[in-house]
Amino acid sequence: MTTGPLIVQSDKTLLLEVDHSDATACRMAIAPFAELERSPEHIHTYRLTPLGLWNARAAGHDAEQVIDALLKFSRYPVPHALLVDVAETMDRYGRLQLVSDPAHGLVLKGLDRAVLTEVAKSKKLAGMLGAKLDDDTIAVHPSERGRLKQALLKLGWPAEDLAGYVDGEAHEISLREDGWRLRSYQQQAVEHFWAGGSGVVVLPCGAGKTLVGAAAMDLAKTTTLILVTNTVAGRQWKRELLARTTLTEEEIGEYSGERKEIRPVTIATYQVLTTKRGGVFPHLAVFDARDWGLIIYDEVHLLPAPIFRFTADLQARRRLGLTATLIREDGKEGDVFSLIGPKRFDAPWRDIEAQGWIAPADCTEVRVTLTDEERMRYAVAEAEERYRVASTARSKLPVVEAIVARHAGDQVLVIGAYLDQLHELGEHLGVPVIHGATTNKERERLFDAFRAGEVSTLVLSKVGNFSIDLPEATVAIQVSGTFGSRQEEAQRLGRVLRPKSDGRQAHFYTVVARDTIDTEYAAHRQRFLAEQGYAYTIIDAADLVK
């Protein structure tokens, strides 16, 4: 019996014992074909999915390698049926190819005539395929490339897309690596993305996703469209690109509510693209404004539905998705994978932390006991009001105050969801509040002041969830959130994960009301981070306040 670090489960999950001496080698061997599902402290869970196996095939791995890796590292005998299944699944890939035919344009070629006949008959492909050119070739409407690939994937006969990408307008972009270098995982991420053509890179908050984007632009050297969540995030991208690449101010345009510039590199917000006027999306034209060679989707887990639909038509262009948490509470992860591309790179948060690229974080859940009056108010509240009543309880104020006091001298962010509570907190602590209605100018001013250390504490609404680069923030205190959203929790933790100049530890506090639905939601919110290996310490508010 071997004593490998890997245990193969019959439901096709793989358990990797992290403390095993071969764990790193094993992770390297299985990462190309198995998807990392959870990475808590002792045992990481990977899953074998058809999609993952096909992606591995697309990246040049064959079934033999997969089976070898499983047998080599498995601690226990691997069920024969599972090995057969892996081989059969991988064998389904590439029987069909999407090829650019010099005479007929985009065609679907069957290397296995029976498979081509089978899929051609499928109702699910109706309207996507054109005329039958010969026994092994069927014309494809170029506009259906994305949808066809999606549909074929669902039929279980994934097509190998060899039709390539349009080059777009060439535009010189290079990284300027003076005094810094691309980190090894960023380098790997870009390489995996480039080899695959399109896809999603998953990296923790603060691990430098922008640089992965910049490096991709360096490889593509073409006009690029960058889609971001909001204007502030867009400006951060711009700052970062100016600092890290050869791009100049004039080459980067902003396409937002305020400005409508189309330049070789254009940064557009989701919000402006999905603005609807008279039943149409007037700003979607930005996709056609230039011959983009690369499209970058920042925070791809937030991609709104209309952009999905439009993305299906952009299959001939290279697409890069960036995110920290590919969890969509709407369950649309599958659409992200099939339209933007499969996951090309993923790294456990704790690994990157261990390499020192993100700050080590200490997560604490503070349990507040509500006063009797608050408990009564909670008890009689309507079901839909309960979370609000519990999470905005006034008892949290002194607790937040105590935490802020505990971290005197640190840069502290207080993050919440309910405006009343935030204003109350702002008043109580005597600090500025930033929320949706705060103007961009005011936001920039406050953030600058925070970065400069002039303001040590900020109260943020949901606007603070994403893409705000506040490197010196070391403490985040969460008082309320969007119910049980796991990715929100991760994003908020991400606010304090930028590595600190002095290597200091980051602190993340979440203040919850004991014995209410707030605790339940908190447990759900923490799940993603717990799966990433962040163990929350629970303390009693009373211990803090006294």
Partner 1 sequence: MTYDFAEALRALPDDALGALLRLRPDLLVPVPSDTSALAGRAQSRVSVARALDGLDQFTLEILDGLRLLSAPTMSALLALTDNHEGVRGAADRLRARFLILGDEDELYLVPAIEEVCSPFIAGLGRPAADLGADIADLMGDAAKMRRTLLSASPQARAMLDRLAQGPPIGTTSAGSDAVEWLIEHNLLAEVSDGVVELPRELGLLLRRETGPLGHLHPAPPEAAGSPKDMSLVDKAGAGQTMSAVRHTEELLEAIAADPIPVLRGGGFGVLPLRRLAKATGLSEQDTAVFIETAYAAGLLGELDTATDTFFTPTTSYDLWRGAPLAQRWARLAWAWLAMTRQPFLAGSRDEKDRPMTVLSPQLERAGAPDIRFTVLEALDTPGFAPTADELIAILRWHAPRRMRNREGAHRSALREAGLMGLTGHGALTGYATALLRSSPDDDPLGVRDASPTAAERLDKLLPPPVDHLLVQADLSVVVPGPAEPGLASELDVIAEHESGGGASVYRVTPASIRRALDSGYSAHDLHSLFKRRSRTAVPQALTYMIDDIARTHGGLRTGASGAYLRSEDEALIATVLADRSLGDLNLRRLAPTVLITPFPGPRLLQALREAGYTPVPEDASGATVLSKPKVKRASGRSGKQPVFGSLSDATVNGIVEDIRRGDARLRAALRAPAEVRAAAGHPMSSLTAVQAHSQALSVLQQAVREKARVWVGYVDAHGSQASRLVRPVSIGAGYLRAEDERTQMLHTFALHRITAAAPATE
Contact footprint for partner 1 (CB under 8 A): 1, 7-13, 15, 17, 38, 40-43, 45, 74-83, 515, 519-520, 523, 526-527, 530-531, 533-538
DSSP string, 360-399: -EEEEEEEEPPPHHHHHHHHHS-GGGHHHHHHT-TTHHHH
CA dihedral 289, 291, 294, 300 (to 10 degrees): 30
Shortest CB 256 distance to partner 1, Å: 39
Closest approach of Cβ 32 to partner 1, in Å?
21
- The nearer residue to partner 1, 85 or 240, going by C-beta atoms, is 85
Nearest distance, CB of residue 16 and partner 1, angstroms: 11
Q: Closest CB to partner 1 among 285 and 535?
A: 535
Q: Are 305 and 262 within 8 A, CB to CB? A: no
Name the burial class of residue 527, with classes exposed (0-12), middle (13-18) and buried (19+) by CB atoms within 10 angstroms of its CB. Answer: middle
The least distance separating partner 1 from the CB of residue 292, rounded to whole angstroms, comes to: 40
Minimum distance between the CB of residue 8 and partner 1, rounded to whole angstroms?
Answer: 6
| Residue with smaller CB distance to partner 1, 445 or 514 | 514
The pairing of strands 265-269 and 224-228 is parallel
- State the pairing for strand pair 137-140/129-134: antiparallel
Of 394, 389, 403, the closest CA to residue 478 belongs to: 403
Rank residues 228 and 393 by Cβ distance to partner 1 and give the closer one: 393
CB of 533 to partner 1, least distance (A): 7
Nearer to partner 1, 43 or 155 (CB): 43
- Burial label for 431, CB within 10 Å (0-12, 13-18, 19+), is middle
User: Which residue lies nearer to partner 1 by CB, 37 or 329?
Assistant: 37
CA 520 – CA 173 distance, rounded (Å): 48
**Closer residue to partner 1 in complex, CB, 15/166:** 15
Nearer to partner 1 (CB atom), residue 270 or residue 387: 387
For residues 238-263, one letter each, b for 16 or more C-beta atoms within 10 angstroms of the residue's C-beta and e for the rest, the string is bebbeebbebeeebbbbbbeeeeeeb
Alpha carbon dihedral 150, 63, 34, 68, in 10-degree steps, equals: 180
Burial class (CB in 10 A: 0-12, 13-18, 19+), 448: exposed
Least Å distance, CB 115 to partner 1, is: 20
Q: Least distance in Å: CB of 155 to partner 1?
A: 17
